[in-house]
Amino acid sequence: MIDFDPEPEFQAQLDWAKAFCEQELMPLNYLLLADREEKRVGKPGLLEGAKFKRHIRGLQEQVKGQGLWGLHLGPELGGPGLGQVKLCLMNEILSQASTAPTVFGTRAPDTGNAELIAHLGTAEQKKRWLEPIMNDEFRTCYSMTEPHAGSDPGMFRTRAWRDGDGWVLDGYKWFSSYGDEAKLLIVMAITNPDAPLVDRASMFLVPRETRGIEIIRNVGQLGEPLGTGDHSYIHYNQVRLPADALLGREGQGFAGSQTRLSGGRIHHAMRAVGQAQKALDMACERVLSRETKGSLLSDKQMVQESIADSYIQIRQFRLHVLYAAWLIDKHQSYNREVRREIAAVKVSAPKVLLDVVYRCLHLHGSLGASNETELGQMWMNVPWMGIVDGPTEVHKVTVAQQTLRHYAASDDLFPSYHLPKKIADARARFAELLEHEVGAI
Ligand SMILES: Cc1cc2nc3c(=O)[nH]c(=O)nc-3n(C[C@H](O)[C@H](O)[C@H](O)COP(=O)(O)OP(=O)(O)OC[C@H]3O[C@@H](n4cnc5c(N)ncnc54)[C@H](O)[C@@H]3O)c2cc1C
CA dist list (Å): 192 to 147, 252, 280, 295: 21, 11, 50, 69
- Ligand 1 pocket check for 197: Cβ under 6 Å: no
For residue 178, give the nearest of 87, 101, 90 by alpha carbon. Answer: 101
Check whether 89 has a pLDDT greater than 80. yes
Q: Give the pLDDT of residue 37.
A: 74
Quick: pLDDT tens for 178-221: 999 999 999 999 999 999 999 999 999 999 999 999 999 999 99
Give the least confident one: 45-59, 182-196, 313-327.
Answer: 45-59
Q: For 12-44, b where at least 16 C-beta lie within 10 A, e where not — what string?
A: ebbeebeebbeebbbebbeebeebeeebeeeee
Quick: pLDDT tens for 233-289: 999 999 999 999 999 999 999 988 876 777 778 888 999 999 999 999 999 999 999
Q: Give the pLDDT of residue 30.
A: 92
The Å distance, Cα 42 to ligand 1 centre, comes to 32
Check whether 440 has a pLDDT greater than 60. no
Q: Any idea where the domains of the chain sit in the sequence? A: 8-106, 140-247, 255-404
Residue whose CA lies nearest to ligand 1 atom number 32: 391
Strand partners, 160: 169
- Ligand 1 pocket check for 393: Cβ under 6 Å: yes
Q: Give the pLDDT of residue 441.
A: 55
Superfamily, domain 140-247: Butyryl-CoA Dehydrogenase, subunit A, domain 2 (2.40.110.10)
Query: Binning pLDDT at 50, 70 and 90, where does residue 300 land?
Result: very high
Q: Give the pLDDT of residue 437.
A: 67
Counting from 1 in the atom list of ligand 1, the atom nearest the Cα of 152 is: 29
Rounded to 5 degrees, φ, ψ at 281 are -55, -45
Query: Binning pLDDT at 50, 70 and 90, where does residue 71 land?
Result: confident
Written in H, E and C, the secondary structure of the chain is CCCCCCCHHHHHHHHHHHHHHHHHHHHHHHHHHHHHHHHHCCCCCCCCCHHHHHHHHHHHHHHHHCCCCCCCCCHHHCCCCCCHHHHHHHHHHHCCCCCHHHHHCCCCCHHHHHHHHHHHCCHHHHHHHHHHHHCCCCCEEEECCECCECCCHHHCCCEEEEECCEEEEEEEEEEEECCCCCCEEEEEEECCCCCCHHHCEEEEEEECCCCCEEEEEEECCCCCCCCCCCEEEEEEEEEEECHHHEECCCCCHHHHHHHHHHHHHHHHHHHHHHHHHHHHHHHHHHHHHCEECCEEHHHCHHHHHHHHHHHHHHHHHHHHHHHHHHHHHHHCCCCHHHHHHHHHHHHHHHHHHHHHHHHHHHHCHHHHHCCCCCHHHHHHHHHHHCCCCCCHHHHHHHHHHHHHCCCCCCCCCCCCCCHHHHHHHHHHHCHHHHCCCCCCC
Q: Give the pLDDT of residue 103.
A: 95
| CA dihedral sign, ordered 213, 214, 216, 222 | positive
Query: Binning pLDDT at 50, 70 and 90, where does residue 35 land?
Result: confident
Whether domain 255-404 has CATH 3.30.70.1290: the reply is: no
The Å distance, Cα 410 to ligand 1 centre, comes to 37
Residue whose CA lies nearest to ligand 1 atom number 13: 175
- Ligand 1 pocket check for 30: Cβ under 6 Å: no
Whether domain 8-106 has CATH 1.10.3720.10: the reply is: no
For residue 105, give the nearest of 66, 73, 140, 141 by alpha carbon. Answer: 73
CB neighbours (10 Å) of residue 133? 23
Calculate what percentage of the chain has a pLDDT beyond 90.
77
- Ligand 1 pocket check for 233: Cβ under 6 Å: no
- Ligand 1 pocket check for 401: Cβ under 6 Å: no
Matching fold, domains 8-106 and 140-247:
no
Check whether 291 has a pLDDT greater than 60. yes
Quick: pLDDT tens for 98-126: 999 999 998 889 988 988 998 899 999 99
Quick: pLDDT tens for 138-176: 999 999 999 998 878 899 999 999 999 999 999 999 999
- How much is the mean pLDDT over the chain? 93
pTM of the full predicted structure? 0.91
The Å distance, Cα 392 to ligand 1 centre, comes to 9
Q: Give the pLDDT of residue 439.
A: 61
- Ligand 1 pocket check for 144: Cβ under 6 Å: yes
